[in-house]
């Protein structure tokens, strides 16, 4: 059976599983084990860090324009090999090809942004901060930085991190999810094919043992993390206590407010993709719809119920499916459990996906699209991040009530309002305590030239991921102040060296 | 005896020392106790936080231009009351009036920068991030933020923080040093006189009890700290573990490299102020001179010895003095101990300030300007931050050696090179592992429109203090993505509501 | 009778009218001549330029922070002397004190922006544009620059120009309107009181003779102009042909679209001030209301008619008046002529201000607030800029028709839409061919930290006035590329000069 | 014989020379006519403008990210077809392949910069410019813009213009030089292959007849020009008088100051390429060396004389040649005439290239590398832009004298100083009246993410070419100010439309 190894100093190692621990990789569409993934021990991670450290001096001295050109070629290779990448994603994650392509495209956008490194690294220069004194800032790379990424976007989330970090002059150790490691590793190889010097990007697969080396090794200067909130908190506290800078992105519970004046057909159409796309396994998935007013609520539920009928859950390799399985059997059971708990708590399961019929794949980890009405704020299913294809509807009487719900929730990642009203939209975007806000946009993921980040317990750190904040996160500011005293040297006929 | 109280919700409280603990405030020039300072208990700090929290909603909604105008008036009041402020500083800190005036001026520059809030808070706007979709970023205030500041700049360091934080829309709780609290409190009162609403800035004097409330209270969203490295580390770890953003600035050991081609008279002249000004109690004090080559070292020491002769240490209120006492008797003894340890370790005490003769002030906490030659990297006096009027000289053979010394040191706050050579300056500024670099500038404190911050163990956090990084630190990014679906409403003759 | 002279090299000259031509200055509220203004001949203007040229080298070398501090003091003096300034404006221009205060405030905002000069002048710095090569930009002042400003904002429009130009390091020759010269001159004197060195700002009163010197003298590097379109065109072509950079702002015809869903009471209320404030003598005056749909048009006209009843036209010194006279008798007759021509062309004069009754001031240049309905695009009154208190209503069936009207008009200065609809607002702001767009804001004058400028024949030049574009206009870009070859000098033990 | 036609609306027309005027295209290496180029008449240019105008609405609505992606593909195609392009350049211009490759590379860098369009087009957004009022700026494309480019960089200079203009959303009409039209046309075709919609870029070959249409047609909104100063002046005045924005880059006379402390071998080595590369037919060619001090002058001339010995002039297709012929026989004679006039005026022709021996190409337009010493400022050869492989040496006694020479010259394009001295470099870069300054960089052409532009009579306009200024030039600023009045609509239970 194939073993997915590590990529250290430009070489694949452990691919034969010749040593150490390993773990099964499943095909969630069939429920079968398809590969093994090597789990790095401390020494392996340390080697990866050493490779990154050794590659740093030459890479930080490579002009940003040349670093950017590696990214230009990388983009091209990603596009040329998109189909291969998406198939890898599908096999191990379960998402349908069109969805995988969307993920990849979002990743490529971050590569495109990294192509602008020379522009992005501009410092600020002032002549005459005092008489004859100039001052300017430079944004220098940190050295070795690490990324720890989740299963749900094996291509995109790593590309939120390493292209920009590397374009800024850092070297990188990536620990992707061990659940779907193949596409990530393949992408890293493409970057080498694009001309990246050995050791600048290293990939280690692993679990907590590997993570803890990255969090404590003094050679690692910064850690970017995306995952669940409890882990994010652990990562943040541990990395900081070890003298690193850290940004740790955690969980979410993203609400959409449906105003009475919303174009309901449009809202329903948008919600379908936002709630059920990628089986809801997105930190920006829209999992709660808050309907303002009785009429809006009734309309919304009726139209959603109707619109959900043709939705198809199934295997990744049939592009007619709308979404695929969830990542593991354990997770499947957890999602189903949340639906049942909502029901037990008094909510109405309008569309029930607990027992989907997926022909030919009896052991796949499937949950069908589920709609739950009359959810209340004190239900467990409302408080938790379900991370499955489940859309819950809460009904309120006013926009203020709807906003209060959102502002009271532990998380503050994304949110959205559906309305035609300019004033409602402005009020909402101003006062809502959420980092990423959509106006008639259900998945307001910022484009690559803005930055991604939630508020409250959805992000630990002060800088958001990728975009302008990413540049600041992956560089340290150096401020130079310069005066050249004259001493009457320049003014003389004999400018300098008497012979 | 006067008791320096707190300023909470626009009112001075505890000024009569009516309750709670208090502590002596000394006049270091005479060694006598001149005042008492109240030490806030938990409830007092909690009240200050409550006042700040209550003031936040209205202040965050006040347009930045109006917030800036309070700063315009504040600047004016600071200038009009400069003499009063400097006298307060002198009495409790010991620094001479010209030095206090320099400190105040640097503080005012941060107020001037904060006057630009409308410009500084600009977000980035993009039309058509997708078809008909716009996106932009807003930088919203955090809420209640806290500052904890050291004794050595009772006016300036607080003004690195609260003017910008407040101009960005936050409300503030400041815990200044309990050693010299009067000028800080007076300045805070001036800001109210300038029109600041009650509760927007609150000042609590105190010790660890007060600090710990600021670090753990969930209502405080961010903490800025300046002090020593061990405390900075504690502050950083604790604040982060409590879900706050934090920037913690610690200690320093700032080296100047004296190149053989330096204008030696200029270098010596610059070093005097940089090493002995404010008795060396500055985190940017130049405390180590690294001479490259035998000749440069001999010249440097000879010229320094000569130049130090007229230097006068004495009481704060005689403006002919060059510098004043250190802050406490304990600290005086510590500085003297470092000089003696260097001597014991084999260094040469060229100019000895251990027993300065300050007429009329036998009990003042004085240490005279001290020059120590032949210091080695393994001496305790080299490793520690002495924070006194002591300049140590290390001799090396090459610029590379000099740079290695600096890069190997625990701290990386400021550094400087004296040279005429463009190439040496560029090489130095590029490769030195220090955050603030001077070329022929011995105290390369960034101007207020750049940002202040060291590298290595001189700063914990990813954003530097004040300037552009300060704006980013005191705001949270919100990214809005907006689409207005047409639905053929606009296009119709009957644009909207049929009656 | 008082003669208003010039301010050259810090001295008032010609105040006694000792030589040369002069011209009457009227009090439009009474129709009487109140002063004389000196008209500069060529030699006088040349002297002003010479003073500015002489002052340039020292001023361009003054650090931006110090230049900014003159502006900080200037702001303070403007505020302290606001009443005096507004009285001067009122006497010569005719605007009521509250309106003059608004003008002054807008001028002060530009001074506040100029206080940020150190931030605004930041260049872009790149380390390693090639191996060991750095590059950065500096924005250096141009030298002597000139401003030519109109009668309608004798305080504000000059302050769009000289504070920023001067803060950027230029020296300035201002030729304000000869109709109301006193406040402008007084303001210039305040700037000197604030600490401006002699010669940095010079004011010459005059007419075409003075203007032509400024346009052709090779020592003048740039010209900013605000006035009517035919003159703007002449200024632009002449200045450019003489090798200067030039921005010339001309006329306007600003339309508001009233959508059927607009809050009509709010719209009417806003329109009153926008149409009649300052007697409509503003390049941003809202002079055409385009009502979409029969109902909206009928409501609009009815409500306007009602709301205009209490409007009072009268002398500048009665603060209960809503607006004052127009600037001259000739202009009064021109405005009345436009009303009559509209009537003759078939439009309906709903409220007629042609013969206002202003008690006690029979000879003042008054026109009352006038509302004309059923205006058509081919009427002369529609095509021309009336510059009086006349609001014309056009009725259309659709928003597209309304936008087409605006896009077809010669001018493209400001425009506005009244609606609640986010989609309509976005469509409007995207496709309308106008430089300054308001959404429910009838006078969308950009704040001082944005830039002012129309499109089409409302502005000649590529950079708008004040704000970021103003900084770019008043500076020239210098790009420095730097390499320091090593030549093994730094690397040696004997770094440099063997003795 | 091949006829080079036009590219209009995605189609090559007139390639057969079926109509209209045409002109010979020479191969300067042989002196023979190799092709014909069609010369567009007024109707043809008008058609090109019409095509561009028709393509504009869809292109301006194409999201910047999608426009940028065309540029990503364009870059790739340029790299893949580099050899073809360089051969075309060589055949018609005469430059050697390595030089053509350098030109092409510089052009590609501008395409890379244009790939950052989404980042570059960001406007500035402010929440709460007043209570509840927001304001932001958008940078919208102008419409149809035109470029008129010179023979000396048929690939690079057009790519200074159209990639950025098009990425900003404009459509373009390019009139390249009729002397070497093939590579330009081919590049335009590659851009179409990259996915550019028809009509967005149009190329018309032609002469003054074509130019005058571009300058006067009201549909053209802006003109970028690079050429000689007299033509630049004509272009600027004419375009401006026709209501267009214009930037017109003219001639140059670039001086290098050789300081006594310069690394002379390095300086000589750098000067060779800067003076003789591309036969000196560059507006950034270094044509005057100013030696400070007798010794520096003597050394410089001696070392240059020696270093010039191996320089080879010859045909474009032999890569061992250092540079090729000049563009025409007329120009060859002009260059030779300048050398002879210098000699006649008393200068010393140290190395004489007037009669180069180029084997096998007796009729090519060759001038050999020429060094002239003892040139004086009043000689015609000093005042004029020779645009040939001629380096003139002027000797002065002090750096001040050297700088005065430069500042007194009509042109102010580029300049350079060779020194090790930080102070001299800073003084030079601060006070020299030249737009592009090199410190030990003889050809200080700004990189693509800065902007290109000279001072004095080297550039007419206020914005430089390409880079940040290019973005500003190719866009018009629109400022939107927005308020959404509440009217208690949002606050109600019944948010909106009672049915």
Measure C120 CA to nearest chain B CA, in Å. Answer: 9
Distance from CA of D76 to the nearest CA of A (A): 9
For position C486, what pLDDT does the model report?
Answer: 84
How confident is residue D494, by pLDDT bands cut at 50, 70 and 90?
very low
Which tokens in the block code for residue D78? 């340029």
pLDDT at D488 over 90: no
State the pLDDT confidence band at A14, using cuts at 50, 70 and 90.
Answer: confident
Residue C263 and residue D420: Cβ atoms within 8 Å? Answer: no
User: Is the CB of D420 less than 8 angstroms away from the CB of B423?
Assistant: yes
Is the separation of the CB atoms in D126 and D133 below 8 Å? no
Q: A359-380, pLDDT tens digit by residue?
A: 999 999 999 999 999 999 999 9
> What pLDDT sits at residue B491?
65
Q: According to the model, what pLDDT value does residue A494 have?
A: 40
Catalytic residue among D168, D246, D283, D416: D283
pLDDT at residue D493 in the model: 42
pTM: 0.97
Which chain C residues touch B118 with a CB distance below 8 Å? 447, 449
* Subunit contact A449:D422, Cβ cutoff 8 A: no
In this complex, do C136 and A131 lie within 8 Å of one another by their Cβ atoms?
Answer: no
With contact defined as 3+ CB pairs under 8 Å, the chains touching A are: B, C, D
The Cα–Cα gap between C192 and C202 comes to 10
Please give the structure tokens belonging to residue C204: 């010459």
Q: Domain C254-439: which CATH class? A: alpha beta
Given this model, what pLDDT does residue B499 score?
Answer: 33
Model pLDDT, residue C409: 96
Q: Tell me which chain C residue has its CA closest to the CA of residue B420.
A: C496
* Mean pLDDT computed over B426-441: 98
**How is chain B split into domains, by residue range?**
3-250+458-480, 254-439
Q: What is the pLDDT of residue A481?
A: 98
**Active-site residue among C86, C115, C246, C283?**
C283
Residue in chain D lying closest to A421 (CA):
D490
Q: What is the 3-state secondary structure (H, E, C) of chain D?
A: CCEECEEECCEEECCCCCCCEEEEEEECCCCEEEEEEEECCHHHHHHHHHHHHHHHHHHHHCCHHHHHHHHHHHHHHHHHCHHHHHHHHHHHHCCCHHHHHHHHHHHHHHHHHHCCHHHHCCEEEEEEEECCEEEEEEEEECCEEEEECCCCCCCHHHHHHHHHHHHCCCEEEEECCCCCCHHHHHHHHHHHHCCCCCCCEEECCCCHHHHHHHHHCCCEEEEEEECCHHHHHHHHHHHHHCCCEEEEECCCCEEEEECCCCCHHHHHHHHHHHHHHHHHCCCCCEEEEEEECHHHHHHHHHHHHHHHCCCCECCCCCCCCCECCCCCHHHHHHHHHHHHHHHHCCCEEEECCCCCCCCCCCCCCCCCCEEEECCCCCCHHHHCCCCCCEEEEEEECCHHHHHHHHHHCCEECEEEEECCEHHHHHHHHHHCCCCEEEECCCCCCCCCCCCECCEECCEECCCCECHHHHHHHCEEEEEEEEECCCCCCCCCCCCCCCC
> Tell me: the pLDDT tens digits for D72-82?
999 999 999 99
Q: What is the pLDDT of residues D155-207, one digit of tens each?
A: 999 999 999 999 999 999 999 999 999 999 999 999 999 999 999 999 999 99
Residue of chain B whose Cα is closest to the Cα of D497: B497
What confidence tens digit (pLDDT) does each residue in C262-272 have? 999 999 999 99
Q: Count contacts between C and D (CB, < 8 Å).
A: 173
Give, for all 499 residues of chain C, the pLDDT tens digit.
Answer: 889 999 999 999 987 666 689 999 999 999 999 999 999 999 999 999 999 999 999 999 999 999 999 999 999 999 999 999 999 999 999 999 999 999 999 999 999 999 999 999 999 999 999 999 999 999 999 999 999 999 999 999 999 999 999 999 999 999 999 999 999 999 999 999 999 999 999 999 999 999 999 999 999 999 999 999 999 999 999 999 999 999 999 999 999 999 999 999 999 999 999 999 999 999 999 999 999 999 999 999 999 999 999 999 999 999 999 999 999 999 999 999 999 999 999 999 999 999 998 999 999 999 999 999 999 999 999 999 999 999 999 999 999 999 999 999 999 999 999 999 999 999 999 999 999 999 999 999 999 999 999 999 999 999 999 999 999 999 999 999 999 998 766 665 444 333 3
Cβ A190 vs Cβ A217: under 8 Å: no
In this prediction, residue B367 carries a pLDDT of 98
Cα C135 from Cα C133, distance rounded (Å): 7
Contact yes or no for C356/C348 (Cβ under 8 A): no
Q: Is B168 a catalytic residue?
A: no
Q: Is the pLDDT of residue D335 over 80?
A: yes
pLDDT of residue A491: 65
Q: Which chains touch C (3 or more CB pairs under 8 A)?
A: A, B, D
The residue of D122, D440, D479 whose CB has the most chain C CBs within 10 angstroms, and thus the best one to mutate to test that interface, is D479
User: Would you place residue B498 in the very low, low, confident or very high pLDDT band (cuts 50, 70, 90)?
Assistant: very low
Asked if C125 lies within 8 A of A137 by C-beta distance, the reply is: yes
Looking at chain B, which residue has its C-alpha nearest residue A239?
Answer: B237
Mean per-residue pLDDT, D273-302: 96
Would the CB atoms of D479 and C243 count as touching at under 8 Å?
no
B15-24, B215-224, B242-251, B372-381: segment of lowest average pLDDT? B15-24
Tell the residue number behind the tokens 């070795």, with chain if given.
Answer: A144
| Tokens of residue B26, six digits | 């000394």
Q: What is the pLDDT of residue A487?
A: 72
Q: How many Cβ pairs within 8 Å bridge chains A and B?
A: 171
Whether residue D496 is predicted with pLDDT greater than 60 in this model: the reply is no
Q: Which of B122, B422, B425 sits opposite D126 (nearest CB)?
A: B122
Which residues of chain D have a CB within 8 Å of the CB of A424? Answer: 489-490, 495
Q: Which of A86, A168, A283, A416 is catalytic?
A: A283
State the average pLDDT for chain D.
Answer: 95
pLDDT at D487: 72
Instruction: Give me the percent of chain A exceeding a pLDDT of 90.
Output: 95
CATH superfamily of C3-250+458-480: Aldehyde Dehydrogenase; Chain A, domain 1 (3.40.605.10)
């Amino acid at each position: 059976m194939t073993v997915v190894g590590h990529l250290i100093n430009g070489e694949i190692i452990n691919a034969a599983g010749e040593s150490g621990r390993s773990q099964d990789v499943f095909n969630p569409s069939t429920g079968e084990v398809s590969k093994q993934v090597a789990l790095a021990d401390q020494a392996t991670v340390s080697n990866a860090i050493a490779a990154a450290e050794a590659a740093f001096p030459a890479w930080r001295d490579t002009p940003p324009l040349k670093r950017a050109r590696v990214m230009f070629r990388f983009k091209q290779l990603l596009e040329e090999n998109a189909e291969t990448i998406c198939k890898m994603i599908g096999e191990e994650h379960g998402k349908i090809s069109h969805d995988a392509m969307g993920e990849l495209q979002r990743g490529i956008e971050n590569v495109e942004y990294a192509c602008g490194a020379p522009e992005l690294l501009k410092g600020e220069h002032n002549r005459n901060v005092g008489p004859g004194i100039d001052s300017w800032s430079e944004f220098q790379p940190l050295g070795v930085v690490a990324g720890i990424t989740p299963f749900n976007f094996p291509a995109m989330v790593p590309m939120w991190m390493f292209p920009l970090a590397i374009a800024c002059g850092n070297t990188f150790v990536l620990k992707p999810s061990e659940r779907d490691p193949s596409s990530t590793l393949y992408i890293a190889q493409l970057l080498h094919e694009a001309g990246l010097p050995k050791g600048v990007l290293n990939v280690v697969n692993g679990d907590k043992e590997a993570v803890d080396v990255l969090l404590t090794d003094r050679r690692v200067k910064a850690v970017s993390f995306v995952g669940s909130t409890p882990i994010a908190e652990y990562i943040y506290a541990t990395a900081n206590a070890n003298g690193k800078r850290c940004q740790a992105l955690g969980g979410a519970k993203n609400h959409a407010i449906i105003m009475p004046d919303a174009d309901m057909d449009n809202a329903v159409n948008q919600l379908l993709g936002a709630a059920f796309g990628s089986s809801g396994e997105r930190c920006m998935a829209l999992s709660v719809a808050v309907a303002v007013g009785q009429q809006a609520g009734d309309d919304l539920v009726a139209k959603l119920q109707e619109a959900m009928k043709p939705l198809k859950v199934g295997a990744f390799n049939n592009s007619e499916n709308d979404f695929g399985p969830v990542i593991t059997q354990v997770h499947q059971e957890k999602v189903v459990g949340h639906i049942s708990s909502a029901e037990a708590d008094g909510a109405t399961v309008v569309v029930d996906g607990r027992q989907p019929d997926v022909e030919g794949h009896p052991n796949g980890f499937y949950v069908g699209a589920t709609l739950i009405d009359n959810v209340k704020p004190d239900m467990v299913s409302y408080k938790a991040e379900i991370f499955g294809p489940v859309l819950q509807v809460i009904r309120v009487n006013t926009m203020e009530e709807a906003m209060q719900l959102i502002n009271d929730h532990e998380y503050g990642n994304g949110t959205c309002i559906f309305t035609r009203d300019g004033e409602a939209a402005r009020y909402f975007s101003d006062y809502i305590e959420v980092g990423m806000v959509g106006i008639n946009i259900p998945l307001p993921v910022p484009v690559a030239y803005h930055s991604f980040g939630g508020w409250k317990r959805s992000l630990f750190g002060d800088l958001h991921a990728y975009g302008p904040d990413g540049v600041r996160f992956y560089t340290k500011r150096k401020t130079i102040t310069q005066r050249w005293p004259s001493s009457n040297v320049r003014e003389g006929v004999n400018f300098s060296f008497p012979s």
